[in-house]
Amino acid sequence: FDTLTQLPNRRMFLDRLAHDMLKSQRDRSRIAVLFIDLDHFKEVNDTLGHQQGDVLLIDAARRISACVRKSDTVARLGGDEFTVILTELEAADQVERIAQAILDRLRQPFDLGPEQAFVSASIGITLYPDDALDIDDLLKHADQAMYAAKGAGRNRYSYFTPTLQVAALNRMRLTSDLRGALKSQQFALYFQPIVHLGSGAIHKAEALIRWNHPQRGLVSPLEFIPLAEASGLIVDIGEWVFHESARWVQRWRQQVHSEFQVSLNQSPLEFQREGSSYQGWLAHLQSLALPGQSLVVEITEGLLLDASSAVSNRLLQLRDAGIQVALDDFGTGYSSLSYLKKFDIDYLKIDRSFTRNLAPDSSDMALSEAIIVMAHKLGLKVIAEGVETPEQRDLLAAAGCDYGQGYLFAKPMPADQFDAFLRD
């Protein structure tokens, strides 16, 4: 095939699958369905453009096809998702060998004109008739397994397991509980101090949400924020976090320090939401006689790779409102310092995976030092996350890091407790 449209589409794939399932019933053989999703394709597509993106997809389809046998089917469901049907499976490790071969081939660089691009893939695998007897269930399982592969860190394959199904059911239940959580006041905002390393002063804190589930107890934001995003509930939750943050920062500005700042987190979806603006926030802050600088919005660096204007518009809106911006989890993603210059960011938060490995003369130490020097040259202040030991604090201070945050100073605590902590 020369163009993407020559690959079997969804309908052809479903016909083929039904046919293969019938055949497998007749000769009692087994088939496998693979869902393949390219990791990081969107970044390539956004950076190099659709045409190069399509070239990559065509090449990816070729590479996948080269890994399978004649009797197998490779189809494209749309976007950067491919499916494969492997028929008449014999040896147990046959599926794994093919899946691994696909992963290996997709890891090779893609030549796109003058540029080279790298992607990887996440593959979900489900077996017929073992995992399900029905086409819809089979596809659902392959999809769940693919998300499990992504969740486990990408560039890997994952089999469907009944545990995955339990997890999916669990997510559905939690999502429906989440709908009532705001109304029943099950959320609490915790605060963790951000400490000035030179003086030990605490004039900043990060707001971290907690969900106190009536049956399950505290549910981690790492678990429920993705559900809130997927269901759209993130918008109301984010508004609640903002109003609580504003209420507390007003108090701390009056009673603790006139320039107290509270940082709040915005997930990528929340930040990029169309049609939103910070006008409402600004008006609310004004009604509390608070300047924009009372707040810092923490976003993750992956957002800055988005070449669309949505992200830079949102950043400009923040700038107009006087609200500051921190780049969270720095060092875990693409870490391109050039983005920092382009986007006018106020704080850089070094991820705790760096802080954890800090030791004199270690490579993480050298990297942290370099990051701090560059950040300062670009006019950013640096906050190190996950400071747990006095040694880490001292190394960071020696490297010129401005602020530290972590269990060494205090764990996140409920707002009233933090209020008392500030007064000690």
Minimum CB distance to ligand C2E, residue 387 (Å) = 6
> What is the enclosing helix (H) or strand (E) of 347?
strand 347-350
Q: What's the rounded Cα separation, in Å, for the pair 13 and 11?
A: 5
Helix 234-255 and helix 279-287: axis angle, to 10°? Answer: 30
Question: Which of 12, 218 has the CB closer to ligand C2E?
Answer: 218
Q: Should residue 331 be labelled a site residue for ligand C2E when binding is judged by CB under 6 A? A: no
Q: What's the rounded Cα separation, in Å, for the pair 357 and 260?
A: 30
Q: Should residue 301 be labelled a site residue for Ca ion when binding is judged by CB under 5 A? A: no
Question: Is cis: bond before 129, omega within 30 of 0?
Answer: yes
Stretch that binds ligand C2E, among 49-57, 80-88, 214-222, 275-283 (CB under 6 A): 214-222
Question: Which of 127, 174 has the CB closer to ligand C2E?
Answer: 174
Q: What's the rounded Cα separation, in Å, for the pair 57 and 51?
A: 10
Q: Should residue 241 be labelled a site residue for ligand C2E when binding is judged by CB under 6 A? A: yes
Question: Which of 156, 196 has the CB closer to ligand C2E?
Answer: 196
Phi, psi of 141 (to 5 degrees): -65, -40
User: Looking at residue 333, what DSSP letter applies?
Assistant: S
47-86 residues in contact with Ca ion (CB under 5 A) are: 80
58 burial type by CB count under 10 A (0-12 exposed, 13-18 middle, 19+ buried): middle
Residue from 96, 364, 388, 419 binding ligand C2E (CB under 6 A): 388
What binding mask, one character per residue, do residues 258-297 give for ligand C2E by CB under 6 A, x or -?
------xxxx--x---------------------------
Question: Taking the CA of residue 295 as centre, how many other CA atoms within 13 Å lie in the half-sphere pointing to its CB?
Answer: 32
**Contact status, residue 58 vs residue 50, Cβ threshold 8 Å:** no
**Contact status, residue 31 vs residue 128, Cβ threshold 8 Å:** yes
Q: Should residue 329 be labelled a site residue for Ca ion when binding is judged by CB under 5 A? A: yes
For residue 199, list its beta bridge partners: none
Minimum CB distance to ligand C2E, residue 211 (Å) = 10
User: Looking at residue 2, what DSSP letter applies?
Assistant: -
Residue from 37, 143, 346, 402 binding Ca ion (CB under 5 A): 37
Buried b / exposed e across 94-111, counting CB within 10 Å, b at 16+? ebeebbeebbebbeeebe
- The site partner of 80 among Ca ion, ligand C2E, none (C-beta below 5 to 8 Å per kind) is Ca ion
Q: Should residue 392 be labelled a site residue for ligand C2E when binding is judged by CB under 6 A? A: no
Q: Should residue 43 be labelled a site residue for Ca ion when binding is judged by CB under 5 A? A: no
Q: What's the rounded Cα separation, in Å, for the pair 72 and 69?
A: 5
Q: Should residue 404 be labelled a site residue for ligand C2E when binding is judged by CB under 6 A? A: no
Residue from 45, 126, 192, 368 binding ligand C2E (CB under 6 A): 192
By Cβ distance, which residue is nearest to ligand C2E? 406
Q: Should residue 225 be labelled a site residue for ligand C2E when binding is judged by CB under 6 A? A: yes
| Beta-strand runs (E) in 18-58 | 30-39
Question: Which of 107, 179 has the CB closer to ligand C2E?
Answer: 179
Place of tokens 């970044």: 43
Minimum CB distance to ligand C2E, residue 207 (Å) = 6
Residue 85, helix vs strand vs coil = strand
Residue from 124, 292, 331, 412 binding ligand C2E (CB under 6 A): 412
Question: Which of 40, 352 has the CB closer to ligand C2E?
Answer: 352
> Could you list the residues that contact ligand C2E (CB under 6 A)?
192, 208-209, 220-222, 225, 241, 264-267, 270, 298, 328-329, 352, 386-388, 405-407, 412
> Could you list the residues that contact Ca ion (CB under 5 A)?
37-38, 41, 80, 265, 298, 328-329, 385
